[in-house]
Amino acid sequence: MGRLLLIARLALGDIRRRRLQSALLVVMIVTTTSTLTLGLALHRVSQSPFEHTRAVTRGPDVVAQVGSGPDSTRPSVAQLAPLRHAPGVAATAGPYPVARARLTAPGASVAIEAVGRDAAPATIDRPLVVAGEWVHAGGVVLEKGLADSFGLHVGETVRLAGRRFEVAGVAVTAAYPFYPACLPALVWTTRADAASLAGRQPLGYVLDIDLTQRSATDAFLASPAAGAFQDATSNEPSALQAWQWIRTDDYRLIALNQKAMLVGSWLLSLLAIASIAVVVGGRMAEQTRRVGLLKAVGGTPTLVAVVLLAENLLLAVAAAIVGLIAGDLLAPLLANPGAGLLGSAQSPRPSLSGTALVVGVAVAVALAATLVPAIRGARTSTIRALNDAAHPPRRRPLLIALSARLPLPLLLGLRLVARRTRRTILTCASLTIAVAMVVAVLAVQHRIQLTDREQWALFAGAAVGARATHVMLLLSSVLVALAAISATFTAWATVIDARGSTALMRALGATPRQISAGFTAAQLLPGALAALAGIPAGLLLYELAGGHLGNATPPVLWLVAVIPGTLIAVAVVTAIPARIGARRSVAEVLRAE
């Protein structure tokens, strides 16, 4: 017991003494774990929302519709009758009357189809009311995509074919692609209201069909009964839609979102891991030294390792918990798969395995941060561990010779980069990931813009485009923030590591501004590489995630602008460490070393 107390005291004392560094490590791990949690949540959510919606709303396998086009003659319910008893049909619901009309409201004017439904829930196609209530006389239930696109809420007044209706509710269905995946938009009213909405136009009819074999839609559509239906209604607009087609229509629209989220979650996790590597690598040197110190004052290697482990575990687990909570809170913001569909069966709460994974990652980080210095410290002699840095700076003759020909800030910057190549590579990697994400976002943005123009020129407000953009922006902000933190950390580590040689350069006559420029250059060099590598990487990422560049490649201007954008961002982030590092007291440093 006393031993445990001792270890706890030593570990806590260490943490308290080096508050800034502990805080930094905690921030990194929190960001990492929260993005991991987020990534896992998004991943879960991106799995088959349509199937989920279909299950919840008892979506039909096939929808047969006749009439209610502008050219329809008098369709009759009788045309749908043969389908009700066709082979392979398990059950049907309807037929329901369908009327075409125009919905107008402040800021909205859109063609709709109103389907007249009963108050009681049907056996097939039971739209899920997510706001308000189901149809009643004088009340209209809007499809969710429609409501979200135009910002219509329960209780507002809208006009259908000039007649005033109250918005009774908002519902989700799998029987019809959501707005704006398909025109016209869908609303539900009572049968009587639908009939009256039709006015002088002939009423159409829709029948929901459930098959005995739910996925055998192809067979059904090729069956003689279906063929007879098509022939019988050849003079009128009619449709036989399988649920897979509805899904395709839906997904075409939300595919962008899905891809964005999937890609985003991979990237977040990757970047998180790269950042951790930077942080752990940065602490390694100093940890090895501390192992040496503890040994020198009499700690056995085991005690030393245990104290280090306890310290890192404490920080890591605390950070993991915070990260889990943060990711949990953030997930609902992003985890909406598309306006007209429900999320996955589980709400995006962390599952048990997910939580275990996140905590496991944090513990792994703690272990990694402990094991290597502890082993190294146990192996090397105490004196060496105290005297040498964990690894002395590397010598790169080519870079040194090259830097001699460059102006002073680049000379300093290049030599700083050459000293610690591993750290530079890690920084470059994390920056590349961030740039790649930004480029992928640009590609998606461009695609949305093009698609908007091409396909949905009729619509006011590309709601889906806006949502996808919203998601992408949020994701890229997180990524960029993480990369910025990582870059700042690296800048600080470089400043501290090069303290002695910086003081020397100033004694030899380098001005503070030149030193500061040197530090910035040391970060800009990997930044420039990251920008150059990130552009093709981002485009590749977009392709891999299923986007097609083709003629939708983002304009060259946008892509080229990424380079100075990255450089400016890196320069801003490293400005403060650079400035502070350049203005330390020279005498103090030289005397101490």
Question: Smaller CB distance to another protein: residue 298 or 397?
Answer: 397
Asked if residues 543 and 436 have their Cβ atoms less than 8 Å apart, the reply is no
Residue 583 found at the interface with another protein (CB under 8 A): yes
Question: Smaller CB distance to another protein: residue 348 or 409?
Answer: 409
Of the candidates 89, 356, 368, the one whose C-alpha atom is nearest the C-alpha of residue 207 is 89
Q: What is the C-alpha to C-alpha distance for residues 537 and 104, in angstroms, rounded to an integer?
A: 46
The least CB distance from residue 393 to another protein, in Å, is: 5
Question: Smaller CB distance to another protein: residue 226 or 525?
Answer: 525
Asked if residues 376 and 390 have their Cβ atoms less than 8 Å apart, the reply is yes
Running DSSP on this structure, what letter comes out for residue 183? S
Question: Smaller CB distance to another protein: residue 93 or 418?
Answer: 418
The least CB distance from residue 493 to another protein, in Å, is: 17
Running DSSP on this structure, what letter comes out for residue 550? G
The least CB distance from residue 373 to another protein, in Å, is: 21
Under 8 Å CB-to-CB from 224, ≥6 apart: which residues? none
Which DSSP string corresponds to 412-447?
A: HHHHHHHHTHHHHHHHHHHHHHHHHHHHHHHHHHHH
Tokens for 9, please give them.
Answer: 């005291």
Question: Smaller CB distance to another protein: residue 309 or 410?
Answer: 410
Angle at 516 between CA 503 and CA 495, to 5 degrees: 60
Question: Smaller CB distance to another protein: residue 43 or 506?
Answer: 506
Asked if residues 521 and 414 have their Cβ atoms less than 8 Å apart, the reply is yes
Tokens for 199, please give them.
Answer: 């006015």
The least CB distance from residue 389 to another protein, in Å, is: 10
Residue 469 identity (one-letter amino acid): T
The least CB distance from residue 379 to another protein, in Å, is: 21
Residue 58 φ/ψ region, left for φ over 0, alpha for ψ in the -120 to 50 degree band, beta for the rest: left
How many residues of this chain bind another protein (CB under 8 A)? 31
The least CB distance from residue 423 to another protein, in Å, is: 15
Question: Smaller CB distance to another protein: residue 86 or 586?
Answer: 586
Q: Where are the alpha helices (DSSP H) in 498-553?
A: 499-508, 512-544
Running DSSP on this structure, what letter comes out for residue 500? H
The least CB distance from residue 512 to another protein, in Å, is: 5
Question: Smaller CB distance to another protein: residue 16 or 405?
Answer: 405
Question: Smaller CB distance to another protein: residue 183 or 399?
Answer: 399
Question: Smaller CB distance to another protein: residue 117 or 506?
Answer: 506
β-pairing, 204-211 vs 62-66, is: antiparallel
Question: Smaller CB distance to another protein: residue 76 or 514?
Answer: 514
The least CB distance from residue 384 to another protein, in Å, is: 13
Q: Per CB under 8 A, which region of 2-10, 35-43, 189-197, 582-590 contacts another protein?
A: 582-590
Asked if residues 183 and 69 have their Cβ atoms less than 8 Å apart, the reply is no
Asked if residues 79 and 233 have their Cβ atoms less than 8 Å apart, the reply is yes
Distances in Å between the alpha carbon of 445 and those of 276, 345, 410, 450, 553? 30, 30, 36, 9, 10
Q: Three-state SS for 98?
A: strand
Q: What is the C-alpha to C-alpha distance for residues 43 and 65, in angstroms, rounded to an integer?
A: 36
Of the candidates 464, 386, 370, 491, the one whose C-alpha atom is nearest the C-alpha of residue 145 is 464
- Encoded one letter per residue, x for contact with another protein by CB under 8 A and - for no contact, window 377-406 reads ---------------xxxx----x---xx-
User: Using the rule CB under 8 A, which residue among 118, 133, 218, 593 binds another protein?
Assistant: 593
Under 8 Å CB-to-CB from 256, ≥6 apart: which residues? 444, 447, 448, 464, 468
Question: Smaller CB distance to another protein: residue 408 or 532?
Answer: 408
Q: Three-state SS for 212?
A: coil
The least CB distance from residue 392 to another protein, in Å, is: 6
Taking CB under 8 A as the criterion, which residues in 405-434 touch another protein? 405, 408, 411, 418-419
The least CB distance from residue 530 to another protein, in Å, is: 25
Q: What is the C-alpha to C-alpha distance for residues 180 and 200, in angstroms, rounded to an integer?
A: 27
Residue 388 φ/ψ region, left for φ over 0, alpha for ψ in the -120 to 50 degree band, beta for the rest: beta
Taking CB under 8 A as the criterion, which residues in 494-533 touch another protein? 500-501, 504-514
Alpha-carbon torsion angle 571, 576, 578, 582, nearest 10: 150
Question: Smaller CB distance to another protein: residue 153 or 583?
Answer: 583
The least CB distance from residue 495 to another protein, in Å, is: 17
The least CB distance from residue 416 to another protein, in Å, is: 11
The least CB distance from residue 568 to another protein, in Å, is: 25
Query: Residues interacting with another protein, by CB under 8 A?
Result: 392-395, 400, 404-405, 408, 411, 418-419, 500-501, 504-514, 583, 585-587, 590-591, 593
